[in-house]
Amino acid sequence: MSREAKQDENKAATHGFRALPQVQRLLEMPDAEPLIRAFSRPALTAALRATLDHIRATLREAAAEIPAPEALLERAGAVLRAGQRPVLRRAINATGIVLHTNLGRAPLAPEAVEAAAEAARGYSNLEFDLAAGARGSRTQGIEPLLRQLTGAEAGLAVNNNAAAVLLALSGLAAGGEVIVSRGELVEIGGGFRIPDVIRQGGARLVEVGSTNRTRLADYRAAITAETRVLLKVHRSNFRILGFSAETGVGELAGLAREHGLLVMEDLGSGTLADLRPLGHAHEPTVPECLAAGADLVAFSGDKLLGGPQAGVLVGRRAAIDPLRRHPLLRAVRLDKMTLAALEATLRLHRDAPQRLPVLRMLGQTEAELRARADRLATLLEGLAETKVVASEGHAGGGALPGEGVASQAVSLAVPGLPAEELARRLRLHQPAVIGRIAGGRVLLDMLAVSEDELPEIAEAVRQAREPA
């Protein structure tokens, strides 16, 4: 750009700046009154200044038309209304992944939601023994249920499974050695790795065996006077196939007894229920691991358990009791709302597991899913080009690795609207509708979508058709 052209552009921008109304003038306009009542005068002042700053930045880049004062107020009002919307919003999960980590993993049962809300409304006996009239245990509501459901002598819960493993190793193996198979040095979401958790717990990692084969003799040869724990990690987010072998908990328990050691199993996702009746491959259950001889089992609360985010520890009292006294426990303890939701979830496992959304979703038949997809396609008639297609969903959340879940989906397209833009508009709807793109069309999988959400999806598509 020539110097003369640049000077002309600067003059135009300066003229545009002068044409912008002052904030005080905008605040005195009749259209400002409703915004002041709704958001306060200081808030509107800040929003107007931000709006005018944005226009000035635009004018510096190129000549532009100055909006009318009414339009400036409307823009400031939009800024204020956007600031009132919560960042954490409800989403409709049409991805086909039941335990979608980015979408909050397990949806809670209504009983768990109500229990959390009841705990949040006021005071509760969180750490108060009502019968004794004295201080009580924070986990008094869940421990009896954990013992009943798993057969463990004792139980404890913290804020996630990584914290459960960290607490256990800090309390039981700090300063000593933890032996783990090389084939079980897993990495979980976000780049967190088992070796890092072991080191953070103050223990030294001892790797044994090979990636694909680890024998009992490998563990036996690695035991020293510094060994504290034989740790087994369930490969819940991947599988090793082919020429492979691993040592089971029962064998490790026998070896541990010979040397006075503890056996701990990190089940990762973990499940109390046998998933085979729901049509899935067998996943080791918590009771099975304890019955096989594990002294301590750690698992997640918000995955196959179907509850809130939590890390659960169950096992022998001799392994649990030292953790109750460990200073780290206070840093990773659960709040009252999570404890209430977890207790309600455990009660459902005991009394009515079919009411847990995760188990219900994973137990759906293709016929049920097809019927739901057909109903959505009917609701979308006249709004989009649709077809019902077979789809493959997944449990997600590191559960049932390598196993697809037969599902049904609605593939849709809106003429004149690219799939990426349609998917974006659906995501920005309230509630957000989150699917995936396949074959140049938006795919809405029915595996984690409820009947009540079908009309909301149809409304989201209707609004997505409107000009931006």
Reference 73, options 96, 101, 50; nearest CA is: 50
One domain, residues 207 and 307: yes
Calculate mean pLDDT across residues 10-20: 59
Give the model's pLDDT for residue 464: 95
> What's the maximum distance between 2 C-alpha atoms anywhere in the chain?
90
Residues 422-427: what's their mean pLDDT?
Answer: 96
335 and 443 belong to one structural domain: no
Domain that holds residue 461: 91-100+360-465
Query: What pLDDT score does 10 carry?
Result: 46
Q: How confident is the model at residue 12 (pLDDT cuts 50, 70, 90)?
A: very low
How would you classify the pairing of strands 441-445 and 262-266? unpaired
Give residue for tokens 């169950």.
314
pLDDT at 363: 94
Please identify which residue in the block is written with the tokens 């038309």.
65
Q: Are 312 and 301 in contact (CB under 8 A)?
A: yes
- The verdict on residue 301 lying in a domain is yes
Computed over every residue of the chain, the mean pLDDT equals 90
Last residue of a domain, one of 355, 376, 409: 355
Q: Which of 355, 380, 407 is the last residue of a domain?
A: 355
pLDDT value, residue 308: 97
pLDDT attached to residue 96 = 96
Indicate whether 199 pLDDT > 90.
no
Domain assignment of residue 146, yes or no? yes
Residue 310 sits in a domain whose CATH number is 3.40.640.10
Give the pairing type, strands 97-99 and 385-396: parallel
| Straight-line distance from the first to the last Cα atom of the chain, in angstroms, rounded to the nearest whole number | 34
Question: Based on the domain organization, do 313 and 367 belong to the same domain?
Answer: no
Q: What is the pLDDT of residue 389?
A: 97
* Number of domains the chain contains: 3
410 shares its domain with 281: no
Q: Pick 346 or 246 by higher pLDDT.
A: 346
Q: What does the pLDDT look like over 429-455, one tens digit per residue?
A: 999 999 999 999 999 999 999 999 999
pLDDT(291) > 50 = yes
Does 348 lie in the same domain as 199?
A: yes
Residues 248 and 314 in one domain: yes
Q: Is the pLDDT of residue 26 over 50?
A: yes
Q: Is the pLDDT of residue 13 over 50?
A: no
Q: 320, 355, 390: which is the final residue of a domain? A: 355
Q: Is the pLDDT of residue 11 over 60?
A: no
- In a shared domain, residues 424 and 371: yes
- pLDDT tier at 239, thresholds 50, 70, 90: low
Same domain, 241 and 345: yes
Per-residue pLDDT averaged across 101-121, rounded?
A: 96
DSSP conformational letter for 267: -
The closest of 112, 161, 187 to 337, measured between CA atoms, is 112
Give me the CATH number covering residue 409: 3.90.1150.180
β-bridge partners, 229? 178, 262
Does 81 have pLDDT greater than 60?
yes
Rounded to two decimals, what is the model's pTM?
A: 0.86
Mean pLDDT of 456-464: 97
Asked whether residue 140 falls in the same domain as residue 280, the answer is yes
Does residue 105 belong to any structural domain of this protein?
no
Q: Are residues 241 and 184 in the same domain?
A: yes
| Whether 348 and 381 share a structural domain | no
Q: Do residues 322 and 437 both lie within one domain?
A: no
What integer pLDDT is reported at residue 419 of this predicted model? 96
Task: Determine the number of helices (DSSP H) and then strands (DSSP E) in the chain.
Answer: 19, 16
* Side-chain half-sphere CA neighbours of 265 within 13 A: 29
